[in-house]
Amino acid sequence: MSTQILLHKFKKATWMALLTILIGGCVDLSGSRSTYTSTTDSPTCHFSPYCGQVHTMLGGLGIFSKGMNTLRHSVDQRFHIPAYSTIWYNAGHVTRFIVNRYYQQKKHEPIILIGHSLGANDQIKVARNLNKVGIPVALLITVDPVSQTIVPPNVKKAINFYKTGYVPMFSGLKLRAADPARTAVENINADQLMNIHVNHFTIDKNPVIQEMILEQIKKVVANETRKGN
């Protein structure tokens, strides 16, 4: 066995050991049971016009965040790439899933995290967990997050749709980058979008915002944008 292969296996084992420590230690990785569903098998990136993986996360009890399920279905139908959906307290499961998938791939596909409300908060938590094991996130999209607003430096781009309100629990917040030199952050106030009237419970389902999110996903997963990388 070559030195390069041994080094790769050692590196993988080291990262997995670190992940185990994080899961069992000071990092809060809630949710041991997976509610993940996948509608698409992973395509071969070399032959597909689109390549990537999308993870959507519902907030609360999953009752008011159905727009995340709609996005998952739209990603599947439009881009034919793996798209998954779960509820916010499964951040630990999502982290483990992404880490396992990452080390099974020779060519790493871009990772996209999307969440609404508490799901937005926990997608930031997933990004932080991935940062601790050196895994990059190509795109983080949050919809009306209510806390956890500092984006870790492993996120290349973060887009935040938010709606201001009088009740703190149902009022979206702006995101900030831990390292602005490494993470581009765009905060979009839904009140300033034309002909859009939403609140905390409807913002994720708005068709205009859904289409804006899908366009951002397309920019990341389109294979031609990564030629030569």
CATH number at residue 179: 3.40.50
What domain range is 16 assigned to? 3-226
Task: Identify which of 34, 220, 32, 21 has the alpha carbon closest to the alpha carbon of residue 110.
Answer: 220
Task: Identify which of 20, 78, 13 has the alpha carbon closest to the alpha carbon of residue 211.
Answer: 78
Count of structural domains within the chain? 1
**Residue 18: φ, ψ to 5°:** -65, -40
**For residue range 209-225, what is the model confidence (pLDDT) as tens digits?**
999 999 999 999 997 55
**For residue range 124-179, what is the model confidence (pLDDT) as tens digits?**
999 999 999 999 999 999 999 988 789 999 999 999 999 987 665 666 789 999 99
**Residue 74: φ, ψ to 5°:** -65, -40
